[in-house]
Amino acid sequence: MKKVLIPTKLDKVAGELLTSSGQYTVVQEEKTELLTLAQQHPDAHALIVRSEKVTPEIMDALPNLKVIVRAGSGFNTIDIKYARQKKVDVMTTPGANSNAVAEEVVALMLADARHLIAADPSCRRGEWEKTKFMGREIAGKTIGIVGLGYIGRLVTKRLSGFDVRLLAYDPALAQERASELGVELVDLPTLFATSDYVTLHIPENAETKNSVGAALLGRMKKGATLINCARAGVINEADLRAVKAEKNLRFLNDVYPKDEPGPKSVADLADIMVPHLGASTGEANSMAAKLAAQFLMDYDTKGISAYIVNRDLPADLDETYVDLAYTLTRLCRALIGRDSNLKLVETTFYGRLKPFASWLLVPIVSAFRDRMDRTMDQKTALHYLQEKGVGYTNREMDEHKGYGNSITVDLTAGVDADHLIHCSVRGTVAEGNLMISRINDFHKLYFEPSGHIAVFTYRDRPGVIGQIGAALAKAGINIDDTRNPHDSKGEQSIAIFKVNQPVPDEVMQGITREIRAHLGVYVELGTP
C-alpha cells in the first residue's frame, strides 16, 4: 500500500477514489502543519496539495516521496527544481478551476453593471434608491478578452448568450479557431480602444508583468471596465491609478501579489474587490480533487506523465539543445510579428537530435505558450496546438545536407484573413554556445542569440549600417556585435545588432523609417 498525504482542505473525493482502488492509504490532515505531517509520515509515496508551499525541507523529510500533485494549474508554491534533484515528479491538474473563474468574470460584470453590491445594504436599511442605482445592460456591448486559454475560451462561451460583440487577443490562436469560438481577433491596442469591458486571462511572467500600463489603459473608452481575475502583476498599478480617474474607468479585481489577510494596495482603485474567489467553488474543488487522484493513479499504474511539469531529460539529450529549440522559436515568433496569429509550426531535427523530436517540441511550443513549462510532454504540447487550431509537421531530415546537430523551426502565421507570413530559422550549438546559422534566405549568420537583439531587413545599398549605428548611438545604445550578410541574389540585406540595452519602440520605428526597412524587430533572447 502506498501512502498519500493530503495536508489541505481538498474535497474528500480524492481520498475516497484513492482508497477505493485498494492501492493507497490516505492521510488527510488539513489542520496539521505540512512539515509536521511530513515528519510524522516519512514513508509517504505521494503528496497532494492546493496552495501549500512545498519546500526543500519538506521534501527532505519525505525520503520515499515520488510524486507531488498540485490540485490546480499553477505550481509556483512548489520548488520544482529541488524536486527534480530529489527525483520527485511534480504534476498539476490544468483546467480544473477554469469554469469557476469564467463564471466569476460574468458575475463581477453583472454585479457591477447593476450595482448589486451597494444596492443590497441600502435596501436592507429600508432605503429605496432606484434612481441612484440605475445600471446598464451587458447586451450590445463589446467585450475584449485578453488570452484564450482554458478560462478565456469559457468566458467567450458563457458570454455568447448575452448578445455581445466579442474581441480577443491571442497570437497563438489560428484565425479559423477564432471563428469557431465566435470571436474577432484583434491586436491589443485595438482591443483596449474598442471594448466596453476588458477581461484579462494571461499569466504573469517577464513579458506580461506591468504590460497593462499607460499605453493600453490610455486607449480605453471613458466609463469602460477592466476585470482582472488573472494575476495582479500584469497591471501597472500606478498607471491604472493615474488613468482611472481621468477616464472614469471601472476596475473589478480578484487577484493580489499575495493571498493573505491585510491591507491591499488596490483598495482605493477597485470598484469591486474579492479575496481571490475565482477557483473557490465546491465544483472546482471537487474537480481538482478528482483529477489529482486520477492523475496519481494513472501515473502509478499506467506510467502516464502528461502533466508532469519538471520532467528530467533523457540522458543522451544535451539540455543546451532544449534551450536552442526555445530560442529559435522565440526569434522566429518575433520576426513574423508577435500579434500575427499562428497557423502552422514546422520543425526539422538533424543529426543526433532526430530521436528527440518529441522532447524538443515542448520547448518550441513553450516559446509562444506562456503557461506551458518547458518540461511538459509532447502530448500536452500537441493538445495545446490542437486547441489553438495550429497545425504541426515534423519533417524528415535530409542527411546529405551536412547540418550536423541542428534544428530548423518554421512558423506560418496570418497577418489577416487573406494574407500569410512565413519565417524559417536554423541554429546549432557550437562549443556549448547557441548559434543562429540561417534566417530565411540569409545564410552563414553565426551569431549568438542572447541579450538585446535588433534585426532589420532592407534593399541592399551602401551606408545603411552607418545610418543604423548613428541612430543607436544617438539613443545612447552601444553595439556589442553585428552581422550583415546579403541574400542569395545579392539584392536584400539583413542587419543583426546585439546591443547593450533594450531598444525603445520609438527608436526602432525611427530607424525602420529612415532606412526604408522591410522589417525592423527588437527582441530580447535568452532562456527562462
Residue by residue, DSSP assigns 260-306 as: SSS--TTTTT-SEE-SS-TT-SHHHHHHHHHHHHHHHHHHHHH---T
Q: Around Cβ 54, how many Cβ atoms within 10 Å?
A: 26
What is the structure's pLDDT at 267?
Answer: 94
Task: Please report the pLDDT score of residue 373 as a whole number.
Answer: 54
Averaged over successive runs of 10 residues, the pLDDT of the chain (528 residues) comes to: 93 94 94 93 95 93 96 84 92 89 96 96 95 95 94 94 95 88 93 98 84 95 96 94 94 92 94 93 93 95 84 81 93 90 93 90 81 63 88 85 89 79 94 92 92 94 94 95 87 94 94 95 82
Q: Alpha helix locations (H) across 312-442?
A: 319-336, 357-366, 378-388
Element (H, E) at 454: strand 451-459
Task: Enumerate the domain spans of the chain.
Answer: 2-96+283-302, 98-273, 319-525
pLDDT score for 165: 97
How far is residue 72 CA from its own chain's centroid? 16
Comparing C-alpha atoms, which of 323, 322, 332, 384 is closest to residue 357?
A: 322
Domains 2-96+283-302 and 319-525 belong to one CATH topology: no
CB atoms within 10 A of CB 269: 18
pLDDT at 372: 47
Helix (H) or strand (E) segment spanning residue 11: none
The confidence score (pLDDT) of residue 417 equals 61
**CATH 3.40.50.720 at 98-273, yes or no:** yes
Q: Write down the pLDDT at residue 310.
A: 82
> What top-level class would CATH report for the domain 319-525?
alpha beta
Q: Which three cell numbers stand for residue 82?
A: 529541488
What is 2-96+283-302's CATH number? 3.40.50.720
Q: What is the pLDDT of residue 512?
A: 96
- Calpha distance 383→288 (Å, rounded): 20
pLDDT at 364: 92
Q: What pLDDT, on a 0 to 100 scale, did the predictor assign at position 258?
A: 86
